[in-house]
Amino acid sequence: MNGTIVHFRRGKRTQTDNQMVILVDEVDNKEKAQRLVGKQVIYKTPSGKELKGKITFPHGSKGAVRALFETGMPGQSIGKKVSVE
């Protein structure tokens, strides 16, 4: 299953670098997003390095999910594809 990184998880004045909001293909509501909690997310950098994360919580009511990565994510990852296993 594939997804797209939409943005960092952020507040009004803060940005959390290791948490990302992801839109997963074919997931369009909160109930489907809830089933993905606990699955692993892998982002491959252009240099070939893999950054692994875990889906922790649904984000909003349109099917987006929050993923917690082991390290801070680069800003270039926004808009890029990830794989959900």
For residue 18, the domain's CATH number is 2.40.10.190
- pLDDT given for residue 53 in this prediction: 96
Q: Provide the pLDDT for residue 60.
A: 92
- Residue 79 is part of which domain span? 2-84
Q: How many domains does the chain have?
A: 1
User: pLDDT of 56-80, one tens digit each?
Assistant: 999 999 999 999 999 899 999 999 9
Q: 51: number of CA atoms within 13 Å, CB side?
A: 22
Q: How confident is the model at residue 10 (pLDDT cuts 50, 70, 90)?
A: very high
DSSP state string for 11-61: -SS-EEEEEEEEEETT--SHHHHHTTTT-EEEEE-TTS-EEEEEEEEEETT
pTM of the shown model: 0.90
Q: Output DSSP code: residue 79.
A: T
What pLDDT sits at residue 78? 96
pLDDT in tens, 16-66: 999 999 999 999 999 999 999 999 999 999 999 999 999 999 999 999 999
